[in-house]
Amino acid sequence: MQPQAWAFMRACLFFSEIVAWVLAVVMTFRGELLWAAVCALFALGANMAGRVWSRRSPIAMPYFMRWVLLVPRGPHSPNHIKRILQPRSGERILEVGPGIGVHALPIAASLLPDGVLDALDVQQEMIDDLKRRAASRGLANIVARQGDAQKLPYHDHTFDAAYLIGVLGEIPDAVAALRELRRVLKPGGRLLISEVLIDPDFISLRVLQKMAGTAGFVFERKVGPSIAYSAVFRPAAVAD
C-alpha cells in the first residue's frame, strides 16, 4: 500500500475507533449493554487492525491528522515530560518527531536564555507549522529541520539529551534510529522515550529495553504506568 493510501486508511481506522468508543460509553449510560459491547468490540477491532498495518508499514502521522496532537496527553503532557527530562538553560536538546510543537515549545522555553532545542521531523509541513508557532511565541531558540531519524544530520556527541513522544514506532528501522541517537548524544546524556498503549505504533517497555540495549543504551528508570510510560536511558559506557 502506498504511504498516502495507508495514511488515509490509518485516519479512517482512528476515527472509527474513537466514534465506536464514544458510542460504547453512551450506550452503557443508556443501559443498552448489548449495543455497548458491540461498539466496544468494533473499537477494539479497529485498534488491532491499525496495529497490524502499523507493524507492516510504519509511517509518520500525516499532517492532516495534526489535530490529534492537541488531545490532552495525561502522563505525557508537556509539564510531565519537562519534569522527567529536566531541561536546563545552556543545554542543547533534540526532539525527534516534534509535529506541531506540543512539547517542543515548552521545552524550548525551559532552555532559555542560553539553551537550544533542535527539532527534526520527516514532514516539512510539520516543521513549517512548528516554526510559525515558535515565531508567534517569540521563541528564537528552536532549530527545526526536515530529516530522517535513521540518518540524523548531526555530529557525534552533540546533544545533552534527546526525546521522542509516541514516535519511535513510526520509524521503519527503530533500532537504526536508536543507534543514531546513541551517536549524537554526549557521554552521560539522557534519552527519554514515551509510549501510550492506545497508539497503534505502541512499543512495550520490554521490547523497547531490548532494542535500546542493542543500540548501546542502558535503561535507567520508568515513569508512569505500563500503558502510558516514559522510559529514561543513558548511553552505555565505552570500554577503554
CB 10 within 8 A of CB 50: yes
The answer to whether 106 and 128 are in contact (CB under 8 A) is no
The x, y and z cell numbers of residue 219, run together, are: 535503561
- Cα 22 from Cα 32, distance rounded (Å): 14
Contacts of 201 by beta carbon, 8 Å cutoff, 6+ apart: 51, 54, 58, 166, 168, 169, 170
CA distances from 227 to 67, 202, 203, 206 (A): 22, 9, 10, 12
The predicted-structure confidence for 111-146, as pLDDT tens digits, reads as follows 999 999 999 999 999 999 999 999 999 999 999 999
Instruction: Render pLDDT for 203-237 as a digit per residue (tens, 0 to 9).
Output: 999 999 999 999 999 999 999 999 999 999 999 98
Q: Three cell numbers at 39? A: 461498539
117: Cβ–Cβ under 8 A, 6 or more apart, which residues?
92, 93, 94, 95, 104, 107, 108, 111, 141, 142, 143
CB atoms < 10 A from the CB of 39, how many? 21
Query: pLDDT tens across 174-202, in order?
Result: 999 999 999 999 999 999 999 988 777 88
Q: Which of 7, 1, 5 is nearest to 170 (CA)?
A: 7
- Sign of the torsion formed by the C-alpha atoms of 184, 95, 164 and 51: negative
Is pLDDT at 36 greater than 90 in this prediction? Answer: no
Angle CA(110)–CA(106)–CA(146) in degrees, nearest 5?
110
Residues 228 and 197: their CA atoms lie apart, in Å, by 6
Under DSSP, the state recorded for 185 is E
pLDDT of 41: 78
Strand partners, 196: 228
What mean pLDDT comes out for the span 93-114?
96
- Say which residue, 57 or 123, is predicted with more confidence: 123
